[in-house]
Structure 1
Amino acid sequence: MELWDLNLRHLYAAKEICDKGSISAAADAVNLTQPAITQGLGKLEALLGQPLFERHTDGMTPTPAAKMFAPRIESALANIGSSRVTMAQLRAFLSVAEHGSYPTASAMSGLAQPTLHRSVANLSIALRRKLLDRRGKGMALTAQGRSLARSFRLARAELAAGLSEMEALKGRETGTISIGAMPLCRARLLPKAVTEFHNAYSGVEIRIVEGSHAELIEPLRDGELDLLVGALREPGPGEDVQQKLLFEDHPVVIGRYDHPLRGQHNDLETLASYPWTIAAPGTPLRMRWEQMFQAAGIGCPDVPIECGSVITIRQILLESDFLTLLSPDQVAVELEADWLSTIGGPPEGLHRTIGVTTRSGWMPTGMQQDFMQILEKAAIS
């Protein structure tokens, strides 16, 4: 089933029945008649393909499916923040917010432009907020619109997770796990974990988005990504996200295989006399690199080429006397092939922490929990 087939008022009613134990009590809470709730509940159960309640003469008892789905509904409705919002409005607003114009949103969503205009306008009126500003041929979110878009994305993510869990109860593992992959995890850790996970969950779509921490942290906060894997930040990015250590990485100095310094005992002053290519200031690796020289009382060498791409760095090293600081895992193939060589290890204690970043309060599905366990095992193997 499609997430957009759900009716928010029916979800609200189902949650209230779970909390209050009867349709009559729920009717007062959601301002619907008992026949309307009964009909809506029947439609919701038909969509989900399983009963949510056991009917008794003295009330309603939630089934295991309802107990699992209820926290997702509660979280989604809390993010939506108003009982006046409809699923059609939520879908239309997110489509325009994510595609930047009504024509593009219409083409991508399949909804007619008049439908999009009407739904977004009605949403703005219902919430008494200006959500969009016209910018040339496109639309830009207002500050209130940006805040609402994030809340709606999180609501969408919760409902999608809930539907995945409903399918799992029927013995059918579906859904998507969206992973933000920062540079360090791409060479060994993530491919190993993803391959093992796919073997166990072939019906689950795995979506990997590569980028830096700065590029991935906001999609994580928006609910577009489930987790980030890579170097952790010190201090953490904020109270709305949490970090979990997987292992400590010990980077080494890398150069081409026939580099003039290969096979020698090189001190930091010697290393500082060569040009370096390394990630931009503010990244964990760059900060560790700077600390390596500062702790020894040596000025940081010049960085003529700032670069965070391992592929680009590899080619620079192969064609020059440049040095860099990388994890051996990131260039394992190149080291084994004798294209690159370890020129020297950094001083003792120089390391960076590699781990997983998730939203605070994130409720992983069963298959997402399994992926986390597989990732943790891959990190120590």
Structure 2
Amino acid sequence: MKFSDFNLRHLRAASAIGRLGSISAAAQAIHISQPAITQGLAKLEAMLGQPLFERRTDGMVATEAGRIFIPRIETALAHIISPRVTMTQLRALIALTDAGSYAAASNTTGLAQPSLHRAVGDLSVALKRKLVERRGKGVALTEQGKRTARRFRLARAELEAGLSELAVLLGHETGLITIGAMPLSRARVLPAAVAAFHRDQPDVAVNIVEGAFHELIEPLRDGDIDLMIGAMRAPSPGPDVAQQPLFDDRPAVIGRKGHPALSSETSLENLAKYPWIIPTSGTPLRAGWEAMFDKLSVPLPQVPIECGSVITIRQILIESDFLTLLSPDQVAVELEAGWLVKIANIPEGYTRNIGVTTRAEWRPTAMQAKFLTVLKEISKAG
């Protein structure tokens, strides 16, 4: 089943039962009749294929499935905030946000455009806030709309995680881990970790989304990415984000085979005479590169090309006298083939902290936690 199959009223009823311990108390708390709550719970459990509660004379006690799924429901509802929101409205706003227009949202969801318009309009009324505004011939989300869409996406992520955990109880070792891969992670650590994890959990899907930090951080915050791997940021990107270190990486100065810098002393003063290709300002590597020259009062070299793509950098280095700063792991094949060479080691102390970035309140599923364990073991092994 999909998260969109849920009825939010049924989820609110289950949450209230779990919190209060009885149907009668839940009915009173959320202002729904006992027969309606009983019927809603029965439909929910039938959809899930397992009971969430054990019916006893002294009340309702959560089963193992309930102990797993009820906290996910509570977190999802906390993101949604208002009890007036329906699943149709939630789904419509997410679709509009993802697609960028009602027409495109209609194509992706199969819902008619009038239905999407009505759902988003009713949602604005229910929340008492303007979510969408006209921009020329199109529409755009307001700031309140963007914040609401983020909350809804996080709610979706919680419900999907709960479904994955319940599937394990039924003997289905399935699920999905979506990983944001920053440049350095793709060289060695991530491929090794994914390969090792897949050998142990072949039925769990792994989706790898490549990109730079600024391209991945917002999807992480939205719940579309579970974790990011790459150079950690200092200071932290914000209180809603948590970073866990994996290992330290020490880059080296890389250039082509036969580079003229090899025929002279490889001091920073001499290396500064050549053009460099370095990632743009704001990245840890660029900051470390600048600090390296600044500490020795060496004027920064020319940077005619700013680039963070290892594939592009590699080809430019092979065909020119450019220099760059990269982890040897990122160009291991080129170094082994002799196309590129390590021109010089950088001074001690200039390292990058490579780690895992997650949402601060993220609770990994069992499968996601297993992947993190494998990732940490691979990182320690070097």
Given the two structures, how large is their TM-score scaled by the length of structure 2?
0.98
Output the CA distance in 1 between the equivalents of 2:320 and 2:93: 51
After superposition, residues 80-229 of structure 1 pair within 5 angstroms as 80-229=80-229
Q: 5 Å matches for 1:13-28?
A: 13-28=13-28
In 2, distance between residues paired with 1:200 and 1:328? 29
Q: Secondary structure at the match of 2:343?
A: strand
Distance 1:174 1:84 in 2: 33
Deviation at 1:332, TM superposition (A): 0.4
The one-letter code of the counterpart of 1:303 is V
Q: CA deviation at 1:37?
A: 0.7
The answer to whether residue 356 in structure 2 is matched with residue 356 in structure 1 is yes
| 2-structure distance, mates of 1:203, 1:130 | 43
What is the TM-score normalised by the length of structure 1? 0.98
Shift of 1:215: 1.1
Shift of 1:174: 2.1
- 2: distance between equivalents of 1:96 and 1:173? 32
Residue in structure 1 matched with residue 310 of structure 2 by the alignment: 310
Q: CA deviation at 1:98?
A: 1.4
How big is the shift at 1:263? 6.7
Task: Note if 1:59 corresponds to 2:85.
Answer: no
Contact 1:263–1:343 (Cα < 8 Å) also in 2: no
Please give the per-residue CA displacement for 1:243-288, whole angstroms capped at 9, x wherever unaligned. Answer: 1100000000000111122375411111111111110111100110
Write the letter of the residue equivalent to 2:226. Answer: D
Counterpart of 1:276, as a letter, is W
8 Å CA contact 2:2–2:160 kept in 1: the answer is no
Query: Distance between the aligned counterparts of 1:193 and 1:134, measured in 2?
Result: 46
* Code of the aligned partner of 1:219: P
SS at match of 1:262: helix
Shift of 1:173: 2.0
1:212-271 Cα deviation digits (max 9, x unpaired): 111111111111111110000011101110111000000000001111223754111111
Contact 1:262 1:341 (8 Å CA) reproduced: no
Paired position in structure 2 for 1:279: 279
Structure 2: unaligned runs, 5 residues or longer:
none
**Which secondary structure does the structure 2 equivalent of 1:361 belong to?**
coil
**What letter matches 2:377 in structure 1?**
K
RMSD over aligned CA atoms reads 1.0
Distance 2:346 2:263 in 1: 15
1:254 aligned counterpart, secondary structure: strand
Q: Is the 8 A contact 1:9 1:30 kept in 2?
A: no
| 2:4 matched residue in structure 1 | 4
1:38 deviates by 0.7
Aligned counterparts of 1:264 and 1:376: Cα–Cα separation in 2: 41
Q: Distance in 2 between matches of 1:170 and 1:120?
A: 36
Partners of 2:318 and 2:340 within 8 A in 1: yes
SS at match of 1:97: helix
